[in-house]
């Protein structure tokens, strides 16, 4: 095993211990989980803080999360895709909350939020439905993030009973059931109304439906 491979294996073995024990995890526990001698840890990382930092950085690296999103089949029905996306965001947020809770007051590393990269993935996933969407993929991403974030908070999620299917329905359908003809009347009214000059560009675009 190369040095880099050993570093990665140690970091990977440390993360669940960090979630379980916080920063009280011992180097002996880490060594046993990684299947190495305790002295090897210090030769590879130098000290326990460096091991913990490496484990957290490895978890926060966004590549695996983006790969999980890309594994969703764009050909699936829209609401099912949104449900699967929400599930993945929920798991990601819950994991990050758990890692940060385990760090306690220790400085938290920055989380890479490359909006352009995520929006590009959403554009690929939603490509079959672009004609149906009333908002662009970037806005769908914003909606998903808004509903997934609080539902992953431990102290908040315990007070609500919305699963990912219900949240997906909220994103895709909203909360109102329009009577027959209401959507057409609303579109006609919107078309005949002047667009305020100071309205943001994202609000000025015409619906796609």
Note the pLDDT of residue 198.
Answer: 45
42 burial (CB, 10 Å; 0-12 / 13-18 / 19+) is: middle
Question: 15-29, 80-94, 157-171: which range is least confident on average?
Answer: 157-171
pTM equals 0.72
pLDDT tens per residue across span 141-156? 999 999 888 878 766 6
Band of residue 192 on the pLDDT scale cut at 50, 70, 90 = low
The mean predicted confidence, pLDDT, of the chain is 81
* Mean pLDDT of the region 64-82: 95
How far is Cα of residue 136 from the mean position of the Cα atoms in its chain?
19
What are the structural domains of the chain? 1-59 (1.10.10.60), 61-176 (no CATH)
Note the pLDDT of residue 204.
Answer: 39
DSSP conformation letters of the chain: --HHHHHHHHHHHHHHHHHHHGGG--HHHHHHHHTS-HHHHHHHTSSHHHHHHHHHHHHH-SHHHHHHHHTS-TTS-HHHHHHHHHHHHHHHHHHHHHHHHHHTTSPPPPP---HHHHHHHHHHHHGGGTTT-SS-HHHHHHHHHHHHHHHH-HHHHTT----HHHHHHHHHH-S--PPTTHHHHHHHHHHHSPPPTTS-HHHHSPP--
Closest CA to 50 of 28, 23, 29: 23
Q: How many CB atoms lie within 10 A of CB 19?
A: 16
pLDDT tens per residue across span 25-56? 899 999 999 999 999 899 999 899 899 888 88
CA distance 6 to 44: 8
Judge contact between 10 and 51, C-beta under 8 A: yes
């Amino acid at each position: 095993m190369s040095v880099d491979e050993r570093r990665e294996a140690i970091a990977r073995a440390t993360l669940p211990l960090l979630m379980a024990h916080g920063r009280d995890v011992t180097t002996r526990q880490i060594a046993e989980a990684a299947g190495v001698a305790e002295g090897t840890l210090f030769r590879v990382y130098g000290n326990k803080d460096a091991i913990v930092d490496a484990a957290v950085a490895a978890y926060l690296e966004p590549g695996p999360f983006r790969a999980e999103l890309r594994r969703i089949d764009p050909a699936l029905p829209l609401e099912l895709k949104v449900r699967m996306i929400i599930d993945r965001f929920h798991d990601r947020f819950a994991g990050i909350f758990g890692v940060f809770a385990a760090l306690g007051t220790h400085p938290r590393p920055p989380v890479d939020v490359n909006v352009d990269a995520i929006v590009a993935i959403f554009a690929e996933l939603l490509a079959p439905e672009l004609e149906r969407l009333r908002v662009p993929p970037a806005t769908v991403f914003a909606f998903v993030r808004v509903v997934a974030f609080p539902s992953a908070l431990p102290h908040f999620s315990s007070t609500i009973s919305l699963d990912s299917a219900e949240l997906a329905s909220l994103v895709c359908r909203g909360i109102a059931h329009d009577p027959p003809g209401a959507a057409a009347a609303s579109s006609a009214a919107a078309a005949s109304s002047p667009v305020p000059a100071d309205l943001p560009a994202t609000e000025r675009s015409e619906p796609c439906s």
